[in-house]
Structure 1
């Protein structure tokens, strides 16, 4: 019991010196010096920490700013008290934050990393998560039970894990963690908006990504320069039409990403079906447009004194004896490209590789095979 009381006394004094909003009254100092029970000591610490973590906003009520170092330290100490860490662990944690000037100069992303290192000292599961993210990564979210259910602890760990997921293109897994996070209680709201926008854009949700980008660019303070530059590019991409070939390219890119990650489950098959449906619609629209053009041309030809024949005569190549109609060729399933020779076929494939995603030819092949199977 004495050891625990010493730990609580040290944590309380650290909170009083490290966090500006924390002050000790005469009665509180008496209780600390008297080394009362852990419950009596934890009460003032938790209350003072809660007072110091009120969201700090700029003059505009819609601005999001990074959490101050004093607030981060106060919430960390509050969590350590709840976790009932021993004296040696508490000493290691506080040593990470000893150089206040250096900590104050850290960008928000590095503060998040420092906070995670502090959690890792006191919690083996956080340590395992960080080690895995430095190597192969962890695809399963942490079990937030007991002391880990604390909202401050859970949200920062989720943001850290989601950042790794996003950087390694596991966008579905990242969105599960990012969806519910609150920027007002985040150590790094800029990272929250940025990585969530990346995930939503890559998961073909441009409208939702645009909302996150707007909050990042217009309503968030201290946005890193690289975030702002990439966000501007993403904003332009989110405004591109989601129809026709651009949409097909996005769908195929998502399929390629999932296959690269070793996935072949139901979401991948659903995306492949969406690719085929988009190609079907694209071909159908092209056919309708062609028919409308033909009908428009035929309708205009009957209203005047045979202008069609005059136009046809003017468009005929001088000296040619034919009427300009080519023989219709039947499509075969032998893998050849119509009447093209090998050189022309190679050039056509190379053009497709340059202008479309790497798996575009594979999708076309799957599409033609599916059509062939439907005819049988």
Structure 2
């Protein structure tokens, strides 16, 4: 980001051209033009033994797709190599039918893994970038991560796509450090990558850099993640752990709010020199948030996880008590999100 700021100060005067070029060269990666991509493709084809005539035809078809048909480089690459490279064709075909199954092809325990790993590095990195992109677009972030995590962006024909989709994957999984690293690296050359990448990357950076552990923002994101998994038909142990984490964090947040309210009441009592009006015991905080007729103190019991029980269906009194205490000092849209989340769990019978 410092490079970008300095470049902006230099302006566009011709006398500063060499200085701008020097700043650009400090970036940790570069975007390849169509000719360079074609050269990388030819080199990979040569490495696997494709004869020169066939290399020429494939490279020409690839260049034509990009320059004449304005095709996406990753799509053009897999389309050009599929007829000649069986494992590329297999991954592309499987992805169109079952993306989750295609993701498993990069697992070391599968036969396909060996075939992928035996590809020339640029072809392997490009195929992983393409597959990772497809999985991220399908919101299958858990499957996308092992596919794209180890991609060397500079070896893929589209480094910007590798950095962008991996950064987006980390962002969705709330892996703050990793997400910021990839997205900020992408923005080193923000003038050379698609506008849709830079604008979205800037938004993701601004969004996640302020994320704090145990905040309501984090809880809301965890709820969104669980909802996504349920929408994809996932009811695994990972989902159950995420659900329990949400309950634990909500409990911790409620206790924190209660403690703050107790401290405030104690300060008010000390300042007034007496007990709160009505003789209410200061040990019973937030009394104006209690449900009529309820005698609970707002604590949320740790819920056992059992798929048969639908753990998210907290007893109404406990749920409402928790929601009322949370919403007392926080924006109401968070309460709406929490209520929607619990309704979703109740409907799905998680």
1:122 is the counterpart of 2:84: yes
Cα pair distance change 1:147/1:58, threshold 3 Å: farther
1:113 is the counterpart of 2:75: yes
User: 5+ residue gaps in structure 1?
Assistant: 1-55, 314-323, 341-349, 367-376
CA distance in 1, matches of 2:202, 2:314: 47
Pick the aligned partner of 1:69 from 34, 38, 55.
34
Is contact 2:144–2:169 with CA below 8 Å preserved after alignment?
yes
Match of 2:50?
85
Is contact 2:78–2:88 with CA below 8 Å preserved after alignment?
yes
Q: Deviations over 1:269-316 (max 9, x none)?
A: 2211211111110111112112211221222233xxx6x79xx59xxx
CA distance in 1, matches of 2:208, 2:198: 15
1:223 is the counterpart of 2:171: no
Match of 2:299?
none
Cα pair distance change 1:57/1:257, threshold 3 Å: farther
1:194 is the counterpart of 2:164: yes
CA distance in 2, matches of 1:84, 1:218: 37
User: 5+ residue gaps in structure 2?
Assistant: 1-20, 107-111, 279-287, 297-312, 321-331
Pick the aligned partner of 2:103 from 127, 139, 142.
139
Cα pair distance change 1:225/1:241, threshold 3 Å: same
Match of 1:360?
342
Question: Once structures 1 and 2 are overlaid, which stretch shifts more, 208-217 or 136-145?
Answer: 136-145
- After TM superposition, give the deviation of residue 364 of structure 1 in Å: 9.0
Match of 1:296?
267
Cα pair distance change 1:352/1:222, threshold 3 Å: closer
Cα pair distance change 1:75/1:249, threshold 3 Å: same
Is contact 1:93–1:121 with CA below 8 Å preserved after alignment?
no
Cα pair distance change 1:146/1:166, threshold 3 Å: closer
CA distance in 1, matches of 2:339, 2:79: 40
Structure ID, larger Rg: 1
Is contact 1:65–1:221 with CA below 8 Å preserved after alignment?
no
TM-score by length of 1: 0.63
Match of 2:128?
158
Is contact 2:38–2:63 with CA below 8 Å preserved after alignment?
no
Is contact 2:132–2:145 with CA below 8 Å preserved after alignment?
yes
Match of 1:212?
182
Q: Deviations over 1:48-96 (max 9, x none)?
A: xxxxxxxx99742225322233333333223223322368854652441
- After TM superposition, give the deviation of residue 239 of structure 1 in Å: 3.0
- After TM superposition, give the deviation of residue 123 of structure 1 in Å: 1.3
Match of 2:254?
283
TM-score by length of 2: 0.67
Question: Once structures 1 and 2 are overlaid, which stretch shifts more, 63-72 or 174-183?
Answer: 63-72
CA distance in 2, matches of 1:146, 1:249: 38
Pick the aligned partner of 1:270 from 223, 241, 254.
241
CA distance in 2, matches of 1:259, 1:149: 36
RMSD of the TM alignment (CA)? 3.7
- After TM superposition, give the deviation of residue 238 of structure 1 in Å: 0.8
- After TM superposition, give the deviation of residue 198 of structure 1 in Å: 1.1
